[in-house]
Amino acid sequence: MTNEISNVSENTEILTGKVIKETENFVIKQNADGKYQRKAKFQNYSSITATTREDRIWLANLLDGDEDSGNGLKDHVGTQIEVADVITRQYDRINEETGEIEYGVLTYLITPDRVAYITSSAGVHFSIMNYLEALGKPTDPEWQNLIIQIGKKRMTNGDGLVVKLVG
């Protein structure tokens, strides 16, 4: 496998309501009730270049799992993690109550020892992508592993995961 970044296809017709504005990262729409809603668009990304058969098998098995396989990030609140590589994988699902397609992203934080921590938290995803934008990506020659602190924060619909860059 090679490093890859691919954009989400422009499937705005599957959103209910009228699309008001669309950017690289969001779709803003007006619902039938007149209220506005912003939906995030996610991108696939991998900093890993799997060159050997062993690497490809490890990567395939990692991506074949789901958030509950391996190390769920939510189970490691209070822990510091050294991040050597990052993978993000977009997904979608249908809201069973509204029939609307909802977009999500899995973020894989991989340590130098190939231990993967996985979350579907959009907040964690955006924080990690901001860190990579500010400090460089793992594919950059001057990359230095990030050390992040896993935390939780009270949010409107329950506790949410947060990460803080500590090194």
Instruction: Give pLDDT tens digits for 57-106.
Output: 888 889 988 554 468 999 999 999 999 999 999 988 888 887 777 788 99
The answer, as to whether pTM is greater than 0.95, is no
Task: Match 């950059």 to its residue by tokens.
Answer: 140
Strands (E), the chain: 4-6, 18-22, 26-30, 36-40, 44-46, 71-72, 80-83, 85-94, 101-110, 116-119, 146-155, 158-165
Range of the domain at 63: 42-165
Residue 33 lies in a domain: no
Q: Within a domain: residue 32?
A: no
Which tens digits make up the pLDDT trace of 115-146? 999 999 999 999 999 999 999 999 998 889 99
Question: What is the rounded CA–CA span in Å between residue 66 and residue 91?
Answer: 11
Residue 122 resides in a domain: yes
Is 19 within a domain? no
CA dihedral over 19, 20, 22, 27, signed as positive or negative = negative
How many domains does the structure of the chain reveal? 1
Does residue 3 belong to any structural domain of this protein? no
